[in-house]
């Protein structure tokens, strides 16, 4: 149980290649499932290997894992509703390595893991195309963007099932991971608004940043969907070929 729970914690951090073959060689300690401070123990272990998680490097002779710094969003983020149409492309997210783990809940009967994480400081950048109406101002443009995010809250819900492999073994596979974000603070810097008019561009950015949560709520579903897809691929790669008994030893 402790190995699975540590694995699930690192999956939120989302950048490991093989829990079963890599982590035991770098773990500074182990945690007993009967430890009354089990959650605190797991957090302490993760904190000690934070530098390895951030860069995906677990030492000489270990396979290189995808890094947490930065995260590359692999598809355009499309936003389309009555008052807002836009697209974010080539999105890179930096700062996720500063994660703070909150509550961890494991439900063995439902084969589910819920993890709460706080992301104190992140910066997303890339290119945007936008046409939106905010208050009495119609804001449009395309170009580079930067989005600074503070104290973002992230809930990750993971469920797994057993899938029969070509060798006849029942191996673990994750269903699409559900990611829920709650933005607390944000600040946009959109370049080239209003065809590059600097005065109107500053006005547009000021209007957006007077209440950035309005725009953040518009982009949130696209971020959640994209991150959930990325996290699912990484989690399934991490447990590829592993049986439930390996991840949940008696």
In this structure, what are the phi and psi dihedrals at residue 14, rounded to the nearest 5 degrees?
70, 30
Mean pLDDT of 155-159: 91
Query: What's residue 65's pLDDT?
Result: 59
Query: What's residue 15's pLDDT?
Result: 38
| Dist CA 75 CA 223 (whole Å) | 10
User: Which tens digits make up the pLDDT trace of 170-229?
Assistant: 888 889 999 999 999 999 999 999 989 999 999 999 999 999 998 898 889 888 888 888
Write down the mean pLDDT value for the chain: 78
DSSP secondary structure, 117-128, as one string: EEEEEEEEEEEE
Query: What's residue 172's pLDDT?
Result: 81
86: pLDDT strictly greater than 80: yes
Query: What's residue 27's pLDDT?
Result: 43
User: Which tens digits make up the pLDDT trace of 200-210?
Assistant: 999 999 999 99
Q: How many CB atoms lie within 10 A of CB 86?
A: 23
Asked if the bond preceding 70 is cis, omega within 30° of 0, the reply is yes
Query: What's residue 34's pLDDT?
Result: 64
Mean pLDDT of 10-38: 48
| Dist CA 9 CA 187 (whole Å) | 29
Residue 100 binned pLDDT confidence (cut-offs 50, 70, 90): confident
Residue 243 binned pLDDT confidence (cut-offs 50, 70, 90): confident
Reported pTM: 0.75
Domains of the chain, CATH where assigned: 68-247 (3.15.10.30)
Residue 61 binned pLDDT confidence (cut-offs 50, 70, 90): low
**Residue 70: strand, helix, or coil:** coil
Q: Sign of the CA dihedral 238, 231, 45, 53? A: positive
Mean pLDDT of 90-110: 84
Q: Residue 94: which residues within 8 A CB-CB, separation 6 or more?
A: 69, 70, 71, 122, 123, 124, 125
39: pLDDT strictly greater than 80: no
Enumerate the H helices of the chain as residue ranges. Answer: 2-13, 19-22, 38-48, 50-55, 198-210, 212-238, 244-247
3-state helix, strand, coil in the chain (%, to 5): 35, 40, 30
Q: How many CB atoms lie within 10 A of CB 174?
A: 21
The angle at the Cα of 50, spanning 46 to 226, to the nearest 5 degrees, equals 95
Query: What's residue 178's pLDDT?
Result: 95
249: pLDDT strictly greater than 90: no
| Burial letters 190-215, b for 16+ CB under 10 A, else e | bebbbeeeeeebeebbebbeeebeeb
DSSP secondary structure, 161-191, as one string: EEEE-TTS-EEEEEPPPEEEEE--EEEEEET
**Residue 113: strand, helix, or coil:** strand
């Amino acid at each position: 149980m402790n190995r699975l729970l540590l694995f699930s914690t690192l999956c939120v951090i989302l950048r490991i290649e093989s829990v079963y073959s890599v982590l035991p060689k770098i773990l500074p300690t182990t945690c007993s499932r009967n430890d009354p401070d089990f959650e605190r123990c797991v957090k302490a272990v993760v904190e000690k290997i934070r530098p390895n998680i951030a860069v995906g490097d677990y030492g000489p002779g270990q396979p290189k894992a995808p890094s947490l710094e930065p995260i590359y969003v692999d598809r355009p983020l499309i936003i389309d509703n009555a008052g807002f149409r836009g697209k974010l492309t080539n999105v890179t997210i930096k700062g996720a390595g500063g994660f703070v783990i909150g509550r961890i809940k494991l439900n063995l009967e439902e084969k589910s893991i819920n993890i709460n994480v706080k992301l104190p400081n992140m910066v997303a950048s890339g290119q945007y195309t936008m046409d939106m109406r905010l208050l009495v101002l119609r804001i449009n443009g395309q170009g580079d963007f930067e989005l600074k995010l503070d104290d973002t809250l992230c809930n990750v819900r993971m469920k797994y099932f057993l899938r029969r492999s070509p060798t006849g073994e029942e191996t673990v596979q994750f269903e699409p991971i559900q990611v829920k974000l709650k933005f607390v603070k944000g600040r946009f810097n959109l370049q080239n608004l209003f065809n590059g008019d600097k005065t109107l561009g500053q006005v547009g950015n000021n209007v957006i940043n007077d209440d950035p949560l309005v725009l953040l709520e518009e982009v949130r579903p696209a971020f959640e969907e994209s991150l959930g897809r990325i996290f699912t691929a990484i989690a399934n790669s991490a447990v590829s070929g592993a049986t439930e008994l390996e991840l949940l030893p008696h």
